[in-house]
A and B are shown apart, each in its own frame.
Chain A
């Protein structure tokens, strides 16, 4: 690349006097050979292998060759500054987990900052803990104080750049910076870009499946953050690599050579990842008149209370979720609200709800669940089924019911110790039957020996749904997987399922695909759960609610199409990181 004013080179020759003086000294036989070997060893790289690999628990994480290779190259060949740009779904998080594990093993990670889109922060935390035994605090944890109070932090990039935290983040010298969905910092005029540009760190790993969003300049910006100067100035980069008339690439070979120093991109077709089929069976049931009445009462209460005090959002959201899970789950929260929090303004309404709960003797979902597990008993190996619910009360009630029907059951929730959890999974594998689990199971545990899963209730966060499915439908699952979703007609759950999840084909998406959709969505500022709740609260009529959900679905679909297009576009540009024939 011509046109540069070259910087000076200064060559200094160190004195050879000592060496020449040694010619006249006597040495013992063999000493000189040892001196040569010692000098050669001093110059050698310490055995660069991933030494922490053998410490990983094979049951928690199954490493693939391309992931190990990427971690190795990022650490040892790119000096710890790399853009991990695998295609969607190939496990970039795993690659970073391995890198961080290795750095931890080598004690080069005194302070680590992982910046992610807000929706993915907790998932990162769970994956690093469960798969790699690495404990990070997340900015959404209650214990989180500030960016100078902890050494291992996962935070949403927007929290880090907020006025409140920005200076604290910048005042610190970080050992390691990880930036997920790095394409969101492509625009050098944004606060996000500015934050990353000013951060001080020794090692950095940026992740994206789509380094190029619109134009090649995006790649320039992201790479320049990681390795300033690698591409020279913006203008020179443009003149040299982009044919401005035709908007095509020129000097591809050199671009590829340069990118090779900092970017790793694996393609799906180059790996041995192969998933079995997934069959989704969504069953919507007619609630009993009593259940319908209860649902209506709770919804009216929630809407009324929210319109008066939006500060109660979390607990109101909880009630709205519990009412479709089971009356017993709802009951506990209502009682708590009524008796422990001296909730007086709506006491009458709450009392009525309690009365309605007591009147329910048939819980439709639980009855219908029996049909599903009965089918499983006949068709699935050892009748193994996992039933997921978000609530402990629902879990207990289902367990009791199943036992009374003579099923072998196992319970799994967050209250168990790690060894108890392991024992439960082991028992489930050996004895078969039904494992009733809360979402505590979603994190990290692999249950490939089971291939049937029931969502008794549905989280409003699609990542959680995918995490549940991911427990059984993952690399190593040899059979087709069956997912049953249960919902009551005319409830929020039906809307979420029918209008949102099915429209974006949620149940067929991989975690990677979902995260790219969700982080795109997050650009608009609100979380998925919040959006659902707000729509539910603000709609004045059934029709309006339907329209609202449709609008959200359209938005999601657009994001999905955009994400797909981008992925396709990047695949085309990089073609397995072989940028193809030069146009010039």
Chain B
């Protein structure tokens, strides 16, 4: 599943900021190292109305009217928050006139494409959702992923290629015209969103597994550390135990041999020591028992602390209208021509799997088409 985030460079920051500010009605006077931005009174924005100076890059420190404009600046971060929340749902059309995508098994092959013709048969609707996934555990840094998931609105079919097209068309350079508001009703969108969530979790499973394993290892080593510490404590207590025992023996000896005063004194001391001895005995028994059962409570505590907390948040929902139909690829190989007709969707590309006429193996960019003289034959068959 492709990463949907965009790297934040200074030029991207400036491009986005300018476009956004102008779109909400601000005017900008640009000069080399700073911009003067005027925010009219009736503009719907959290940015204070009036005139501001935006210093590009790492310039002078911020004061009330001067703000820094760079990837980490507070001003830019506030702008992103505002823009992100402004219109989280909408609609996008992917028209059929866009260039027809040639599949990898033709592009990498030895056969040329002389012409390609897409005939749309019907309009379809899909949704693309951008999900933020936060993964947190004590032993690893918190990780945040942004992923796009596309599903067909009617069949709930997963459309990964459409999600890719969506990301391409919403890059910073893109200036795609959106077709306005989504026509989907809330009740229609909810089950699609649920389906997209399941697909999302499938898509990031591998990443989750990795982090999960690492967290488990970290927990394991903490458990082991604790076990060793307790083992050490047991040894110390055992020593103390045996010291007490010999002290009690010495006192018993004294009781048997000493005069009355020292006997009374020794008896008193022995009583105290015996009670200490018993307490120690209990503590040791308890420790042994816990050790033999593998310190279950502590283990649970440690594993709970290391557990993975995955938080999935849907951030934007885009309804996409796309077309489905058939594409004719006119292939040419020396003197031979052949037209191949395949299922196709705008923004999706070729939807059918094509197999080698000789070996039945699926054609792919790694095993592309080599010749059309005897049907469609793959590279491995002709080598």
Contacts and interface: CB of A to CB of B under 8 A. Distances in A.
Interface of A: 1, 4-14, 16, 18-48, 51, 79, 106, 224, 228-236
B316 interface: yes
Contacts of A8: 303-304, 307-308
A51 B317 CA distance: 36
Contact of A10 (B139, B175, B186, B310): B310
B88 A19 contact: yes
B258 to A, nearest CB: 45
A536 B33 CA distance: 65
10 contacts: A1-B217, A7-B304, A8-B308, A19-B317, A27-B90, A39-B132, A39-B316, A224-B221, A229-B217, A229-B219
Give the residue among B82, B139, B316 with the most A Cβ atoms within 10 A: B316
Nearest to A45: B7
Contact of B19 (A10, A34, A39, A79): A34
B162 interface: no
Interface stretch (B189-197, B236-244, B249-257, B364-372): B189-197
Contacts of B177: 29-30
Contacts of A9: 208, 212, 307-308, 310
Interface of B: 4-10, 12, 16, 19-20, 23, 58, 71-72, 77, 79-92, 130, 132, 137, 139, 141, 144-146, 170-172, 174-178, 180-182, 184-186, 189-190, 193, 197, 201, 208, 212-222, 224, 299, 303-304, 306-318
Given A22-B89, A36-B170, A4 B4 contact: no
A37 B83 contact: yes
B221 A19 contact: no
B226 to A, nearest CB: 11
Q: When A and B form their complex, which 3 residue pairs have the shortest distance between CB atoms, in order from nearest?
A: A229-B218, A32-B90, A31-B87
Contacts, number: 230
Given A19-B89, A32-B178, A44-B6, A11 B310 contact: yes
Nearest to A12: B311
B217 A230 contact: yes
B224 A20 contact: no
Given A31-B90, A42-B84, A4 B315 contact: no
A287 B189 CA distance: 98
A25 B86 CA distance: 10
The majority secondary structure among interface residues of chain A is mixed
Nearest to B7: A44
A230 B275 CA distance: 46
Given A4-B217, A228-B139, A232-B221, A38 B83 contact: yes
B316 to A, nearest CB: 5
Contacts of B4: 40, 43
Given A6-B212, A19-B317, A24-B186, A35 B86 contact: yes
B170 A40 contact: yes
Given A23-B186, A35-B85, A38-B84, A4 B312 contact: no
Residue among A18, A43, A230 with max Cβ neighbours from chain B (10 Å) = A43
Given A9-B212, A11-B312, A43 B176 contact: no
A40 B315 CA distance: 10
B6 A30 contact: no
Given A29-B178, A34-B87, A39-B132, 16 more contacts: A4-B213, A7-B307, A8-B304, A9-B307, A14-B314, A23-B189, A24-B186, A31-B87, A35-B86, A35-B88, A36-B316, A38-B83, A38-B86, A41-B80, A51-B58, A229-B139
A30 B224 CA distance: 57
B121 to A, nearest CB: 28
B164 to A, nearest CB: 14
Contacts of A27: 86-87, 90, 180-181
